[in-house]
Amino acid sequence: MCNLSLYSKSYSSNFYSLRESALVNFFEMKNNTKSEHEIEKKALSNLENISEEKFELLLRKIFDLSREFGLKILAESETLDLEKISGILNLLEIPCIEESFVYDEKNNSAKSIRNNCLCSANEKSCQYWRESIDGLIMGLGDNERYVRHSSILYGKNDNCTDVIYDSSLNDMRWGEIPLEILNSLNNVIEKYQKKDIQIILKGFNEKTLYFQIKDKDTNLSGFRRKFILENMEATFNKKFPDFNLFEISPRAVIEGEF
């Protein structure tokens, strides 16, 4: 099996070439520049001008391409654990993260925190890099997962924070919930507690708050669930119109209710 560090420049160059080729084909661009990353920079700066439908196609394309490249590295390398995967991300010279992942042996995770946006030209380019990194990690590992807790451009957060974690440690999937959000939802959470309904705030990633509903009545389908969700959304959206609310409670499928 190969020693990845001996091939890091080659892998970095190959990964960029794959992204560049995909962008040239996607946007029907002319590849007539010799400047490194110039094609990618030009394409990403124009993302705001494409439709949401086309943008979703690009995100899927870059995720799939990155995953395939991760699988290629995995096939040419020894078995990869999370520490090695975070090292690979640092070696690939991805503009969004550069060499910023730090491995945490205690929690078997790796985190990258950037106080300045390193390369994104707009919100959509921020999402482009997120999907690229996510695809890579899906290809490199069986149990390793990736999440972006915060981002300066897309999430309007104070920093950019990416985390690679073991899938058995689901708590690392969630970012810290801003105190302002916690305080604003206290009343509605307490109101439902009196009705034996638990609103469990799981975490906040970029600009989305994730939560679960637990009811003494295990069947939360139908009108009861809808009423709770609408009440939560009305409270949340009124105070935080730029953020999203996403409910992740398990679904019970009951005849006649969809």
pLDDT digits (tens, 9 = 90+) for 159-194: 999 999 998 887 899 999 999 999 999 988 999 898
Instruction: For residue 114, give every residue at least 6 positions away whose Cβ sits within 8 Å of its Cβ, in sequence order, or none.
Output: 97, 100, 152, 159, 160, 161
Q: CA–CA separation, 73 vs 53, rounded Å?
A: 31
User: In 3-state terms, what secondary structure has residue 223?
Assistant: helix
Name the token pair of 256: 């006649």
pLDDT at site 18? 93
Amino acid identity for residue 26 in this structure: F
Residues 207, 132 share a domain: no
Q: 110 and 191 in one domain?
A: no
Last residue of a domain, one of 153, 173, 193: 173
Residues 128 and 238 in one domain: no
Torsion angles phi and psi, residue 124, rounded to 5: -70, -35
Phi, psi of 242 (to 5 degrees): -90, -5
CATH value at residue 127: 3.30.1380
- Give the pLDDT score at 252: 55
Nearest Cα neighbor of 139 from 233, 187, 76, 184 is 76
Pull the structure tokens for residue 77.
Answer: 């390398």
Q: Which residues pair with 212 in a beta bridge?
A: 200
- Per-residue confidence (pLDDT) for residue 258, from 0 to 100: 34
Amino acid 76: pLDDT: 87
Averaged over successive runs of 10 residues, the pLDDT of the chain (258 residues) comes to 56 91 87 71 90 96 96 88 93 87 94 86 92 96 94 92 90 92 92 89 96 75 78 91 89 46
Contact at 8 Å (CB) between 43 and 23? Answer: yes
Pairing of strands 144-150, 160-166: antiparallel
Is residue 187 domain-shared with residue 241, that is, in the same domain? yes
Tell me if residue 54 falls in helix, strand or coil: helix
Please write the tens of the pLDDT for every residue from 211-250.
Answer: 998 877 665 556 777 888 888 899 899 999 999 999 987 7
Domain coverage including residue 163: 4-173
Instruction: Answer for the pair 206, 151: CB distance below 8 angstroms, yes or no.
Output: yes
